[in-house]
Amino acid sequence: MTELVAKSISHIFSPIIAWPIFLVIVLQHQPIQVWVPVLVFEFAIPLLLLPVFMKLKLVSDIEITNVKERRLFFIVLIISHMIATFLLWYYGDATAGGLRFLGLILEIVGTVITFFWKISAHLAANSFVIAVVMVLFGWQWWPLLLILPVVAWARVVRKKHTVAQTIAGGVLPFVIVMAYEYLSH
């Protein structure tokens, strides 16, 4: 039963779910002509990428559990997301572009860390979304932070990460977002 609950939590709070929530927040005030090209590079290409990588046996499972398999996948993902960030910054507004740029920094730093150590992408994605929500909409959204230990518990129970890897995944996005917030004011 514990394993089933942990697996369900992992799926509900997957980066594949968290990232679209972030994009809805970022894109909500952008014109439709910005949405379409950004979504192609944010979703269409990445969603097609995973099945292709699985078919070519470059990754062995949908969660890309093997740290060595993450490297190439994350690099290709970052390239696609760089294009989306540029489009959003160029055609959207400065706030949307800046927030997406923070996401790109998180992806790059997380990928570099992955070359040496496996960091939790589940925690990183959810922590990033929560940090952005708190910065944009106020600290009254702090109860969202309660999601993070639940997701960390699920990842540790499923033996996908150590406690340290989940803590790192949860803290890194907050450091990036709060550093940006501090430096920009």
Whole-model pTM: value is: 0.88
Mean of the pLDDT values across residues 75-81?
94
Residues 19 and 102: their CA atoms lie apart, in Å, by 13
Environment class of residue 17 by beta-carbon count within 10 Å: exposed (0-12), middle (13-18) or buried (19+)? Answer: middle
Tokens of 40: 């192609």
Read off the pLDDT of residues 14-54 as tens digits, 9 standing for 90 and up: 998 998 899 999 898 899 889 999 999 998 998 899 999 99
Task: Give me the residue spans of the domains in the chain.
Answer: 2-183
pLDDT tens digits along 128-175: 999 999 999 999 999 999 999 999 999 999 999 999 999 999 999 999
Residue 27 CA to residue 39 CA, distance in Å, equals: 10
pLDDT band at 2 (very low <50, low <70, confident <90, very high): very high
Residue identified by tokens 């790192």 is 168
> In 3D, which of 182, 185, 153, 184 has the Cα closest to residue 167?
153
DSSP-derived 3-state class of residue 66: coil
Residue written as token pair 């949307």: 96
Torsion of CA 95, 41, 71, 5, to 10 degrees: 80
